[in-house]
Homo-oligomer: A and B are copies of this chain.
């Protein structure tokens, strides 16, 4: 979706319009509060018809939520899948997510604006998490491959394999949520990849300590 490979005029205009809408809704919501912003206003600022707005987003909340992440390229995926069972699973996932978050770097001010608004509206934050079903499924597919490679016995049991990969996916998302939350609480000091690694590291310590 953020691929700049297709540089037809159409694609460029479409992306520009998308960005214009996202910037417009962020600015309006920042200055007067999300509840006082209407689609009509957004459209006026973004210089499009109100009807066109809905060609891009199903709601103003969706426009505000930001683009969904994407998994890194196939090479990185393959490295992760075949890292071997001795390689730290959580650290591997963390690196995938770090690459993913660095893949679509957007304007810093925009990030801060969005962070501020998402902090004021926890429901929006939750909706953002909810909108990541696709990303979740993609990660789940990758994790299924990794788990199957690591444990051929498990691979022979599709039901169990699927259950386990789902669980790991959900747990990974929990760590990602945590990283988002701590990043949102911080005063703009640290960057997000650092938070990601920290959360996943803490996650790993959580349960290994239970043995000691």
Q: Residues of A with Cβ closer than 8 Å to B? A: 88-90, 122-123, 126-127, 129-131, 133, 163-164, 166-168, 170-171, 173-175, 177-178, 181-182, 199, 202-204, 206-208, 210-211
Contact = CB atoms under 8 A, between A and B. Distances in A.
A138 to B, nearest CB: 15
B130 A202 contact: no
27 contacts: A88-B210, A89-B210, A90-B207, A126-B127, A126-B129, A126-B130, A126-B131, A127-B130, A130-B130, A163-B178, A163-B182, A167-B178, A167-B202, A168-B206, A170-B174, A170-B175, A170-B177, A170-B181, A171-B174, A171-B175, A171-B203, A171-B206, A173-B174, A204-B210, A206-B207, A208-B210, A211-B211
- Residue of A126, A163, A166, A174 ringed by the most chain B CB atoms within 10 A: A174
Contacts of A207: 90, 204, 206-208
A203 B203 CA distance: 12
Main secondary structure of the interface of A (DSSP, over half): helix
Contacts of A182: 163, 166
A12 B41 CA distance: 45
Contact of A163 (B133, B164, B177, B202): B202
A206 B143 CA distance: 13
